[in-house]
């Protein structure tokens, strides 16, 4: 395949940013494109683990706080913590579908809702309606770090996750220049919250190809 064939396959719009970052060099642009895919693959496992340990920590906390092993469904009701959740209808549809299939359990619901749902719980209204207790899931949290700051940082992780999920580039800075700073910054942020949750990164990520130093170095040197 020549470069034009790849433009047809991947689209001119998608490849242009890589070509621009490589000063118009078609061959280097394709190499950078592939390196970005590899970089996303490396982060997939890290984000997978982080999302699971965060949502499980939140779930354990609110099961205990509300003394309710089906707290999501309960709190969707009028007056509940989730009564005003913007995507409430989506969760209700998920519950209805699971019930219809005879597969509904709270644990299935926990694994079905989006990462956006879990970050929403750190916004002002649900945080207050949850008794302002949710930060207890972070035993190693930095002193003075409050709900607003934590929400802001979790949103940064969510947005980074969504870029990867939607096959977007993570090897550029905001100006479109080839850079590993955003990926390194988000990785450090994930590690910070892994520590806040009380886990050792060496243990929780054991066996994973965690920080893709080799791929990052290749991108930096391209």
Q: For 18-65, what is each residue's pLDDT tens digit?
A: 999 999 999 999 999 999 999 999 899 899 999 999 999 999 999 999
Q: Could you list the residue range(s) of the whole structural domain that residue 115 is in?
A: 3-221
Residue 209: pLDDT band (50, 70, 90) is low
pLDDT tens-digit profile of 90-133?
999 999 999 999 999 999 999 999 999 999 999 999 999 999 99
- What's the pLDDT at 219? 85
Residue in 155, 153, 165 with CA at minimum distance from that of residue 193: 153
Task: Find the mean pLDDT for residues 170-198.
Answer: 93
Instruction: Look at residue 205 and tell me whether its pLDDT is greater than 70.
Output: yes
- What's the pLDDT at 10? 94
Query: What's the CA gap between 14 and 185, in Å, rounded?
Result: 24
Q: Is 24 helix (H, G, I), strand (E, B) or coil?
A: coil
Query: What's the CA gap between 165 and 163, in Å, rounded?
Result: 6
Q: At what angle do helices 26-66 and 147-165 cross, to 10 degrees?
A: 140
- pTM, 2 dp: 0.91
Angle at 155 between CA 154 and CA 160, to 5 degrees: 100
- In this structure, are residues 58 and 106 in contact, taking their beta carbons and an 8 Å threshold? no
Count of structural domains, the chain: 1
Q: How far apart are the first and last CA of the chain?
A: 21
């Amino acid at each position: 395949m020549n470069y034009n064939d790849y433009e047809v396959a991947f689209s001119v719009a998608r490849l242009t940013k890589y070509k621009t970052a490589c000063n118009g060099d078609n061959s280097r642009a394709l190499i950078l494109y592939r390196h970005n895919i590899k970089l996303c693959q490396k982060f997939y496992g890290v984000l997978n683990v982080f999302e699971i340990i965060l949502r499980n920590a939140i779930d354990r906390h609110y099961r205990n706080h509300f003394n309710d092993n089906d707290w999501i469904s309960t709190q969707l009701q009028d007056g509940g913590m989730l009564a005003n959740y913007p995507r409430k209808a989506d969760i209700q549809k998920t519950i209805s579908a699971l019930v219809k299939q005879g597969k509904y359990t709270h644990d299935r619901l926990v694994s079905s809702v989006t990462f956006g749902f879990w970050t929403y719980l750190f916004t002002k209204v649900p945080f207050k309606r949850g008794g302002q207790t949710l930060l207890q899931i972070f035993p190693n949290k930095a002193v003075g770090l409050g709900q607003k700051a934590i929400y802001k940082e979790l949103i940064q992780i969510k947005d980074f996750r969504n870029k990867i999920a939607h096959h977007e580039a993570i090897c550029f800075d905001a100006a479109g220049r080839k850079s590993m700073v955003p990926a390194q910054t988000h990785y450090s942020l994930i590690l910070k919250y892994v520590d806040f949750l009380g886990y050792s990164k060496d243990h929780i990520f054991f066996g994973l190809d965690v920080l893709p130093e080799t791929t990052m170095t290749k991108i930096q040197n391209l």
